[in-house]
Structure 1
Amino acid sequence: MELEKGYIQVYTGNGKGKTTAAIGLCMRAFGAGLKISFIQFVKGRYTSEMKAFEELKIEFFQGGLPEFIIGKPEKKDIDAALKTLNLAREKVSSGKYDIVILDELNVAVYLGLISEKDVIDLLNSKSQNTEVVLTGRYATQKIMDMADLVTEMHEVKHYYTKGVGQRTGIEV
């Protein structure tokens, strides 16, 4: 099965669920027999979806480093993001994938790891039939303007304000 036309989707905002929504779309696409590449920017730690992707043989690449970026990114953070961007550009433009999910790409731009122009160039290079999904807080207006679908997750209430940490299978 192949998509007739691929659109650009953006999941952004300060609420929980952007990556989770992208994983849900990934599972639906997998069930429909679509070819998927799921690429994470910034993240470099184990998350539970990695096991599912491995068992289902869904192509997955994690391009972040294990440490959180606090303050100004280091050269190693920028190098990792640029390596991931180059991989993403290859996947998005190849015509071999029905869906390419670029998880936390908006955060990579916000942190200054890659430029907004790099993302716009990547989106302009996409194969006509490839759906591209960008997740992460802080999507820029230009990126949202390029998108065909923008969903903003808005936090109304979250249990972390009561001291609940990340839970395996829910947040990680």
Structure 2
Amino acid sequence: MEMYVHVYTGNGKGKTTAAIGLAMRAFGAGLHVSFIQFVKGRYTSEMKSFEKLGIEFFQGGRPEFIIGKPAKEDIDAALNTLNYARERVSCGKYDLVILDEINIAVYLKLLTENDVIDLVNSRSERTEIVLTGRYATDRIIEMADLVTEMKEIKHYYTKGVQQRVGIEV
């Protein structure tokens, strides 16, 4: 089976949700999956689902939201997550590795575009990769085999609806 690189980007809701759906499908087909979140460091409901199913899940961000210039701890956390991801994509054990919010890590300058491209190029020939997050760079889009842009048309948060457990988190 040929392995590809997916990018889910754009300002619309659903990038992580699509990646979670792909992880579920792959796991259900007997594939080995690793789901790695950059930047995020707070509880999300998928963590419990993955734990119950036995899908490997790693969350490398800090609990604080990054507002303004990232702290040194944010950069260190992103580099630690990058190293963790590098081992997962190159070891040959995983059929699918999802790098959730890695595009945001580049946008926030926690990682460089070259870090991501080098990571993708280090993958095992048997590993498919998904990169999610807003603001995917032109080079990352060019490198990918499949690119989906989530476009916001309408969203209830504009009416003041907060994140809801099980839907957004």
TM-score in terms of structure 2 length? 0.99
Within the alignment, does 1:20 sit opposite 2:12 as a pair?
no
Residue 128 of structure 1: how far off its partner (Å): 1.1
Of 98, 107, 123, the match for 2:95 = 98
Question: Shift of the alpha carbon at 1:50?
Answer: 0.4
| Contact preservation (8 Å) 1:14, 1:153 | yes
Give 1:69's aligned amino acid. Answer: I
The 3-state SS of whatever aligns with 1:61 is strand
Counterparts of 1:119 and 1:29, CA distance in 2: 23
What CA distance in whole angstroms lies between the structure 1 residues aligned with 2:146 and 2:32? Answer: 21
Q: Distance in 2 between matches of 1:37 and 1:49?
A: 13
Q: What code does the residue aligned with 1:47 have?
A: T
The percent of aligned pairs where both chains have the same amino acid is 78
Residue in structure 1 matching 2:26, options 8, 25, 29: 29
Give secondary structure in 2 for the equivalent of 1:54.
helix
In the alignment, does 2:86 pair up with 1:89?
yes
Runs of 5+ in structure 2 lacking a partner? none
Q: Following superposition, which runs of at least 4 residues in structure 1 exceed 6 angstroms of deviation?
A: none
User: Is residue 124 from structure 1 mapped to residue 121 from structure 2 by the alignment?
Assistant: yes
Correspondence for 1:139 = 136
Distance 1:35 1:66 in 2: 28
Q: Per-residue displacement from partner, 1:108-159 (whole Å, max 9, x unpaired)?
A: 0000000000101011111111000000000000001000000000000000
Q: Could you tell me which residue of structure 1 aligns to residue 154 of structure 2?
A: 157
Alpha-carbon shift at residue 5 of structure 1 (Å): 2.1
The residue matched to 1:133 in structure 2 has which SS?
strand
**RMSD of aligned residue pairs (Cα, Å):** 0.4
Alignment gaps of 5+ in structure 1 = none
- Aligned partner of 1:53 in structure 2 is 50
